[in-house]
Structure 1
Amino acid sequence: MSVAELRAGLTDLIELLPTEEISGACGSMEAALADMVEAWRGSEHSAAEAAPAAVRTALDELEKAAAGLEEVQVGIASYMREL
């Protein structure tokens, strides 16, 4: 494999990583979580506490995934500069 082919493959890989989509989903989930908390404020229903906590946990994991993908992109870009 030539350096040009390697660069092209790595560029394709970077473009396939769903970093922007996951970051956008995080923003949407943050807004949904805020709406959920506000809608259930003062409610005695068990979901008023459980659902926002579950969404927060999922959001934390999604944010970790987005950060990991960003690290991968930076690493690939750094490697490509060294080629």
Structure 2
Amino acid sequence: MMIDEALVGELLDAPQDDTALVLLEGRAQVVERAALDSDRCRGAAVILSRGDLVDRLGTPSPSPEELTRIAASLRDAVAKLGA
């Protein structure tokens, strides 16, 4: 599992607010909402949607420092879940 600034940036760059950051088979990845219902994504745990992330940050274009902070916060939250 590696939630880093690049992955958070990928989520923010997604065109749909319901695109999500998920954990699947121990790996963090960005997945469109429609794909979550597919066999390929069966068992994925949704961490955060793009819409929720933008709401949390207050902007769809955060600073590099904010990306670093949110990536660290998400890593910490996932680690506390035991993933």
Work out whether the TM-score is over 0.5: no
Structure index of larger Rg: 1
Structure with the largest fraction of helix: 1
Q: Give me the TM-score of the superposition, normalised by structure 2.
A: 0.29
Q: Give me the TM-score of the superposition, normalised by structure 1.
A: 0.29
